[in-house]
Chains A and B, each alone.
Chain A
Amino acid sequence: MGDAIRFRDDEPHEEPAVTLDAFLGQSNATAVRLEPDEDARALLPHLDRLSLIEVAFPKFRDGRGYSAARILREAGYTGELRAAGDVLLDQIVPMRRCGFDSFAPETTLDLEAVERALYRYDYVYQKTVDIRPPVWRIRNG
Chain B
Amino acid sequence: MYKYDEYDQSIVEARVEEFREQAERRLSGELSEDQFKPLRLMNGLYLQLHAYMLRIAIPYGTLSSRQMRMLAHIARKYDRDYGHFTTRQNLQYNWIKLEDAADILAELATVEMHAIQTSGNCIRNISSDQFAGAAADEVTDPRPWAELLRQWSTFHPEFTYLPRKFKIAVIASEEDRAAVKLHDIGLQIRRNEAGEVGFRVFVGGGMGRTPMIAPLIRDFLPKEDFLSYMEACLRVYNRYGRRDNMYKARIKILIHELGADEYRRQVEEEFLHVKTLGLDPPAGEFERIAAFFAPPAYETGLPDEIDLSDPDFASWVEQNVHAHKQPGHAIVTISLKPVGGIPGDASSAQMDLMADLAEQYSFDELRVTHAQNIVLPHVAKRDLHTIWKKLDAAGLATPNLDLVSDIIACPGLDYCSLANARSIPVAQKIAQRFASLDRQRDLGEVKLKISGCINACGHHHAGHIGILGVDRKGEENYQLSFGGSGAEDTSIAKIIGPGFSEDGVVDAVEKALETYRELRTEGERFLDTYRRVGLAPFKEAIYG
Binding site for B on A (CB under 8 A): 36, 60-64, 66-68, 70, 74, 88, 90-91, 93-95, 97-98, 116-117, 120-128, 134-140
B7's contact among A36, A93, A123, by CB below 8 Å, is which? A123
Q: Which residues of A contact B151 (CB under 8 A)?
A: 125, 135-136
Measured between beta carbons, the chain B residues less than 8 angstroms from A60 are 38, 161
Answer yes or no: B177 CB below 8 A from chain A CBs. Answer: no
- Give bound CA distance, A94 to B5, whole Å: 23
Instruction: Enumerate chain A residues within 8 angstroms of B279, measured Cβ to Cβ.
Output: 126-127
* A120 engages B17 (CB within 8 Å): yes
Are A67 and B154 closer than 8 Å at their CB atoms?
A: no
27 examples of A-B residue contacts, CB within 8 angstroms = A60-B38, A61-B121, A63-B162, A63-B238, A64-B238, A67-B239, A70-B158, A90-B38, A94-B155, A94-B157, A94-B158, A98-B158, A121-B155, A125-B155, A125-B156, A126-B152, A126-B156, A126-B157, A128-B157, A136-B281, A136-B282, A136-B285, A139-B7, A139-B285, A140-B281, A140-B282, A140-B285
| A135 and B10 alpha carbons, distance in the complex (Å) | 11
On whether the beta carbons of A125 and B5 are closer than 8 Å, the reply is no
Most B CB contacts (10 A, CB to CB) among A68, A116, A123, A135 go to A135
Residue from B11, B156, B157 having most chain A Cβ neighbours under 10 A = B157
Judging by beta carbons under 8 Å apart, are A127 and B243 in contact? no
Instruction: A63-B162, A67-B238, A95-B157 given; name 6 further pairs at CB < 8 Å.
Output: A61-B38, A63-B160, A63-B161, A66-B238, A90-B39, A139-B288
Q: A138 near B161 (CB under 8 angstroms)?
A: no
Pick the most buried of B17, B154, B158, B284: most chain A CB atoms within 10 A of its CB. B158
A74-B277 in contact given A61-B121, A122-B14, A139-B5 (Cβ < 8 Å): yes
Known A-B contacts A74-B273, A126-B279; A120 and B14 likewise in contact (beta carbons under 8 Å): yes
In the complex, residue of chain B having the shortest beta-carbon distance to the beta carbon of A120: B14
Interface-central residue, A67, A98, A124, by most chain B CB under 10 Å:
A67
Interface of B is mostly: helix
Give complex CA distance A136, B280 in Å. 9
Write the residues of chain B forming the contact surface with A, with a CB cutoff of 8 angstroms. 5, 7-8, 10-11, 14, 17-18, 21-22, 35, 38-39, 121, 151-152, 154-163, 235, 238-239, 243, 273, 277-279, 281-282, 284-285, 288
Q: Are B14 and A67 in contact (CB under 8 A)?
A: no
The dominant DSSP class at the A interface is: helix
A62, A95, A139 interface centre (most CB from chain B within 10 Å)? A139
Q: Which B residues lie within 8 Å of A68 (CB)?
A: 239
Q: Are A134 and B155 in contact (CB under 8 A)?
A: no
> How far, in angstroms, from A1 to B160 measured CA to CA in the complex?
25
Best-surrounded residue of A66, A97, A116, A137 (most CB of chain B within 10 A): A66
Which of chain A's residues have a CB closer than 8 A to the CB of B238?
A: 63-64, 66-67
Contact partner of A93 (CB less than 8 A), chosen from B17, B157, B158, B284, is B157
> How many angstroms between the C-alpha atoms of A116 and B17 in the bound complex?
11
- CB-CB under 8 A from A98, the residues of chain B are 157-158
User: Which of A64, A93, A95 has the largest count of B CB atoms less than 10 A from its CB?
Assistant: A64
Q: Which residues of B contact A120 (CB under 8 A)?
A: 14, 17-18
A residues in contact with B7, CB < 8 Å: 123, 135, 138-139
Which residues on A sit within 8 Å (CB–CB) of B10? 121-123
Residues of B within 8 A of A123 (CB): 7, 10-11
Residue of A nearest to B235 (CB): A67
